[in-house]
C-alpha cells in the first residue's frame, strides 16, 4: 500500500514559512525527516524547509530569522519556543569545480543548485522527499516513496563512496532502521560491514550526537547489538565492543539498559541518557553497588569510555558520579530524618536524587515503602505532588 501523508499533522508555522517564500516567487518545500515521519505515522519533532531563496533573501522575507553555520549556511527561524531550519538548495561539487577554484578553500555544500540536485546529495532516499503543503504535492527524485513502502533504508549513490565521504552515515542509517523498524538495503549493509573502519575518522562531537539519538530510541540496546553484529561497534565504542565479547556481560548490559530506560528515565536530556548508559555498562563490567565513587572516578576503562568514546561533558560526568555516590545516603532514612530542616532541603534539591532513588529500588537496596518515602520528599521540594 502506497504510504499516505498526514496533512493535518503538519505544523502550521512551518507552512506559514513555506507560504511566505512562495509568495515571493521562490520554490519552498518541507524536506527530510519531517516528510518521512508524516508518511510513517510519526509526529515530526522538527521541521526543515528547503528553498531556492539564498540565505540573505530568506532573512529579508521571514521575520525573526537568523543566519547560522559556517560550513553550512542556514537560516534559523524562531516562532516562540519552536525553531525551524531553512536551507537553500545545494548541489554536489563536480570535477569542473575543482578546476575553477582552490579545492582546499571550498566545500561541496557551498554550491547552490536546484531541488533535484539538492535531493541527490542527501544521505538516504527516505530523507530526500520534498513536500509542498500548499499544493499538496510530493517531489520524489530518489524513489523514497517506494523505499518507505517496502520499509527500506537505502543510501543515495554508491554505498562505499557515500559512507567514506561521511562515516556518520553508518550510525545514522542503523539508527533510522531501528527508529522506523525498517531494514538496511543489502548493498548498504554490505558496505557497512566491509568499510565500517572509516568510522574511526568521524569526529567525536558528531558521534556523541548520534549516540544520544540512539539512546532516545525505544530500544537502544538492539541498535548497539546490531552495531556489534555488523562489526562496527569496535570502531566507535571499542569498550562496549569488548564487553559484548562476553555473552554474560552483554546480557547484563542489554537488560539493565532496557530496564532503566523504562523505569528510571524521566527526561531525554544528555546527562540522564548517558547516566543510564554508563550505569548499565558498569553493572555489566564492574558492580556499581560494591564500588565507591572515588574508585569509579579513577577507573581507566570507564574514563576512556566517557571521555574518548562517548564524548561525555564534565558536568554530565559529575552528575553521574554524584548519583552513584548518593545512593548509600538514601538507604539510611534515619540519618536524613535527624537532619535539620535546612540541611534536608539542601539534600533534596540535588537534581540527581530522583534517578538515584529509582536505581536504589532497581537494585533492591531498600523496600518499596522507602522508595515512596523518598519520592514524596523529592516531589515536595520540586513542587510536584504525588497522588
Residues marked as catalytic: 46, 48, 123
Question: For 104, how many CA atoms within 13 A lie in the half-sphere containing its CB?
Answer: 0
What kind and span of H or E run contains 260?
helix 247-263
For the residues of 315-351, what is the DSSP string, one character each? HHHHHHHHHHHHHHHHH-HHHHHTS-HHHHHHHHT-T
Q: How far apart are CA 165 and CA 236, in angstroms?
A: 17
Distance, in Å, from the CA atom of 361 to the CA atom of 363, rounded to the nearest integer, reads 5
Q: Which helix (H) or strand (E) holds 271?
A: helix 270-285
C-beta separation of 21 from 90 below 8 A:
no
Q: What nine digits make up the cell of 361?
A: 529500588
Name residues whose C-beta falls within 8 Å of residue 64's C-beta, 6 or more positions apart in sequence: 77, 78, 79
Write the CB contacts of 239 (distance below 8 Å, at least 6 apart in sequence): 281, 301, 304, 305, 309
Cβ atoms of 206 and 214 within 8 Å: the answer is no
Q: What share of the chain is helix, strand, coil (3-state, %, to 5)?
A: 60, 10, 30
SS3 51: strand
Residue 271 has which C-alpha cell?
546527562
- What phi, psi does 331 have (nearest 5°)? -70, -35
Q: Considering only CA atoms, which of 210, 219, 136, 142 is closest in space to residue 180?
A: 219
Amino acid at each position: 500500500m502506497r504510504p499516505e501523508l498526514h496533512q493535518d499533522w503538519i505544523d502550521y508555522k512551518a507552512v506559514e514559512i513555506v507560504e511566505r517564500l512562495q509568495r515571493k516567487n521562490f520554490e519552498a518545500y518541507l524536506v527530510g525527516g519531517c516528510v518521512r515521519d508524516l508518511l510513517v505515522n510519526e509526529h515530526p519533532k522538527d521541521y526543515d524547509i528547503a528553498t531556492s531563496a539564498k540565505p540573505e533573501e530568506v532573512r529579508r522575507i521571514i521575520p525573526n530569522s537568523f543566519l547560522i553555520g559556517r560550513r553550512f549556511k542556514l537560516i534559523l527561524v524562531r516562532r516562540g519556543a519552536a525553531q525551524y531550519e531553512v536551507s537553500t538548495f545545494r548541489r554536489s561539487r563536480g570535477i569542473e569545480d575543482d578546476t575553477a577554484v582552490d579545492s582546499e578553500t571550498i566545500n561541496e555544500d557551498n554550491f547552490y543548485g536546484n531541488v533535484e540536485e539538492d535531493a541527490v546529495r542527501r544521505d538516504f532516499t527516505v530523507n530526500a522527499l520534498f513536500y509542498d503543503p500548499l499544493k499538496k504535492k510530493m517531489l520524489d527524485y530518489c524513489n523514497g516513496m517506494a523505499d518507505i513502502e517496502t520499509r527500506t533504508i537505502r543510501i543515495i549513490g554508491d554505498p562505499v563512496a557515500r559512507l567514506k565521504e561521511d562515516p556518520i552515515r553508518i550510525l545514522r542509517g542503523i539508527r533510522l532502521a531501528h527508529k522506523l523498524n525498517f531494514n538496511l538495503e543489502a548493498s548498504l549493509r554490505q558496505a557497512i560491514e566491509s568499510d565500517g573502519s572509516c568510522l574511526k575518522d568521524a569526529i567525536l562531537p558528531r558521534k556523541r550526537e548520534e549516540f544520544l539519538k540512539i539512546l532516545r530510541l525505544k530500544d537502544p540496546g538492539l541498535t548497539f547489538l546490531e552495531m556489534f553484529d555488523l562489526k562496527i561497534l569496535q570502531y566507535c565504542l571499542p569498550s562496549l565492543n569488548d564487553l559484548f565479547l562476553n555473552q554474560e556481560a552483554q546480557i547484563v548490559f542489554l537488560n539493565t539498559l532496557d530496564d532503566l530506560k523504562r523505569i528510571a528515565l524521566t527526561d531525554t536530556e544528555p546527562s540522564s541518557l548517558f547516566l543510564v548508559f554508563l550505569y548499565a555498562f558498569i553493572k555489566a563490567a564492574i558492580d556499581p553497588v560494591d564500588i565507591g565513587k572515588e574508585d569509579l572516578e579513577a577507573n581507566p576503562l570507564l574514563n576512556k569510555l566517557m571521555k574518548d568514546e562517548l564524548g561525555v561533558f564534565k558536568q554530565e560526568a559529575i552528575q553521574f558520579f554524584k548519583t552513584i555516590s548518593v545512593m548509600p545516603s538514601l538507604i539510611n532514612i534515619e540519618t536524613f530524618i535527624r537532619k535539620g530542616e535546612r540541611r534536608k532541603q539542601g539534600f533534596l534539591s540535588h537534581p540527581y536524587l530522583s534517578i538515584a532513588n529509582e536505581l536504589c529500588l532497581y537494585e533492591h537496596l531498600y523496600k518499596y515503602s522507602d522508595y515512596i518515602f523518598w519520592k514524596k520528599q523529592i516531589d515536595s521540594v520540586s513542587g510536584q505532588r504525588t497522588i
